[in-house]
Amino acid sequence: MKTHKKRHQKLLHHCLTQRVLCPTSFSILTNLTDEECQRWLSSNLGEVRHIVTTLGLMLEYQRYRETKNSLAFIQVRRVLTQNLYLWSDAMGAQNIPPEFDTQQLGLMLLAEYDNRLAVLWSIRLKMKIPSTTITVRSKLRLCGAVNQVLTPLLNKSGIN
């Protein structure tokens, strides 16, 4: 059995036996197509955590830029590549709440991009997606920014 199928079966078994799913999450987890399963579950948990953290840093970059917190802004800018912080500027995220940590912000951004993927990865990370939404000036640029982070992972899964 392929790795992504094993992960899907383990995730289903764990979530169903522990009764930790809301109806929406249950629906998403049980209705994954084979392509989605391969694309989204072929990566290990460390890679998922890295992607979500990177997306969260992109939002933190925008938050610090908006609040003019120069020290934190420079620190986050050093962590992100030039390509990513320029894409972060282009998508124009606004109204980023300060009470969430980096991974929660990453899940929020991922939920704006693709809610099904965000729900699946939040289950894997054992985190809740915050109900607060962020404002993005351009959905098209949001897609471009998130794809910059996801492309290496999705290329590894073998699906274009």
Q: What is the pLDDT of residues 42-93, one digit of tens each?
A: 888 899 999 999 999 999 998 888 888 788 888 888 899 899 989 988 998 8
Segments in 42-101 forming alpha helices (H): 45-67, 70-79, 82-91
Q: Which residue has the higher pLDDT, 63 or 18?
A: 63
- pLDDT > 90: percent of the chain: 31
Number of domains, the chain = 1
Q: Could you tell me the sign of the dihedral formed by the alpha carbons of 17, 19, 23, 26, in that order?
A: negative
Domain membership of residue 25 (yes or no) is no
Determine, yes or no, domain membership for 53.
Answer: yes
Q: Give the residue numbers spanning the domain of 116.
A: 45-157
Say which residue, 22 or 121, is predicted with more confidence. 121
The pTM score is 0.87
* pLDDT band, very low/low/confident/very high, at 152 (cuts 50, 70, 90): confident
